[in-house]
Structure 1
Amino acid sequence: MGHVTRDPTAMMRAFLQDAGGCAVIDGGLATELEANGADLNDPLWSAKCLISSPHLIRKVHLDYLEAGANIITTASYQATIQGFESKGFSREQSEALLRKSVEIACEARDIFVKGCSKVPSSAHEKQATSKQRPVLVAASVGSYGAYLADGSEYSGDYGTANKLEYLKDFHRRRIQVLAEAGADLIAFETIPNKLEAQAYAELLEENDIKIPAWFAFNSKDGTNVVSGDSLIECASIADSCPKVAAVGINCTPPRFIHGLILSIQKVTDKPILIYPNSGERYDPDKKEWVESTGVSDVDFVSYVTIWRQAGAALIGGCCRTTPNTIRAVARVLH
């Protein structure tokens, strides 16, 4: 999307038009890193791979692009300056790792686009399809709760850190670094409460961030965000921020998504994005996903037409979804 020279929402609508009316977001990054052999048992979670195995991140990005994704999200969800510094990295090294998350995703996109342009003429149809497909890199920003690595992004309970200025100070430099690293947009993900949404909205304005953003909230009851704050109030904050190009939901069970789309539509006409998890529940004490309530790829994809008809324009997957999920989503949407 480049620098914001016009209304971010108009830019998102133009991108969606280029993508055929709706766009496919990638799926779970950490899920696939683990499937490729990464050990993410660490407070840095997927961001650990920025240090230990960047080649795996690039491979997973490419897997999602090959599966049909229009948007790939960087491995920076749990990457924070404070988190890296706690591991002994300097401020400069920490900022370099944030930039690296964007560089790896941009590299993967370049490799994918070049690969598509080299398709032999006998595969003309595939070549035409790839050329028509725009690809964006979204710089992922996880909540303060993700940095704490205690599951509080699923409760929104930040204890003594539950203050607007504290959250703004925590996120300020990280957002600046990611925004200037070459991403097309910033993806504020798994936002658990109204306060953090307000902090993001104010930072986008104060820092004159030059690229658009999206806000994605999470819910565990299908009505409110996980903290108990009203989803409609949260979505209203996103709607009133000129830099926000799309609003929606991520890391939420598929069964709640349809109702949440309808709620968001009451307060915004910005494009709506949804990328649910597989329906499994995260246990913050055991630090693992409880599989009993999950849905199969077939079940997940059976919802996609309903979500699209309800008004979702950007659809993908979050935790425990895979390139197979995204391939199936892309097939339904296109």
Structure 2
Amino acid sequence: MRIATLNAPFRYGADPSQWITVPPQGYGGIQWVVSHLIDGFLETGNEVLLLGAPGSPPRPGLTVLPAIDAPSVATTLAEHAVDVVHDHSDGVMLPPYLALPTVGTHHLTGVPAVPVNCIYVSEAQRRQAGSLHAPVIRLPVNADHCEFSIAKKDYLLYIGRVSRHKGVHEAAAFAAAAGLPLKVAGPAWEKGYFNVLVGQFPHTVDYIGEVGPQQRAQLIAHARALLVLSQPVKGPFGTEWCEPGSTVVAEAAASGTPVIASDNGCLPEIVPRVGAVLNSGNNVTASEAERLLAILPSADELRNVALEQWGHVRIAEQYLRHFARAMRDDNWT
């Protein structure tokens, strides 16, 4: 197939003259998903046109085009014959009345802007959206982008946006109970929340800021555990936060790093084989933290699960089957 992939365009925070690329220079969860999926599509013999991420590195089979909004997408698609459009922008990049088979991946919480031919990334996300029968396909990981390590260092890791709904405070409390530092890597746009976090845990939180692909891979690979303690509070899209898919869980497992997660959203679905799940709001004691860290899976076990559950070629093949459905006008909601 020839697949047009629509990425949601955002300026790169560290240098607003640039767009966030695929893969991203720093923070960019959706851009990592797009990158891993493109890898899978190319490795299964398909061709990809990438729109919405100017400056991304092209390679054989991948053409990067400069479109950054719906009108420029319409013009670009009129100039390049494609078989199917794969939308990652929740409809923002879709031209109205697009006469091409289109499939969207829902990366957010709540109801998608375009529910027709939508693919969800977890059962929890699909339930919150009110859908009963639409496909669920897990987020992919290309293990080649991950650094695998059996040897771990004495720190815990939080990686992502520093926000209340992502549970960074809860991660710091867990780390403090465990007597380990918590490295925090990601943008801190909510300064009030960030100041309270570092004020309450000055000897626990080691704030690194946004990190690039190489440092990200190293941080994940060498952590004792990744903490993903998302909370059921109001999130950035106005609804109660339901963790949609959590790419970083798959990346951690592919790196041989276990995960300690809350029971929010997708996490009870994907974490049990690669770590431990805690009740949201649970105050972990020092003895409980020590026990949890002692019973986590080994690096080799984690790697095997990652390849089985989230391998990028396997996930790409699932998408290709649904692309073929859309091309036959076998639509779904």
TM-score relative to the length of structure 2: 0.30
* Higher relative contact order, chain-length normalized (CA < 8 Å, sep 6+): 1
| Bigger helix fraction | 1
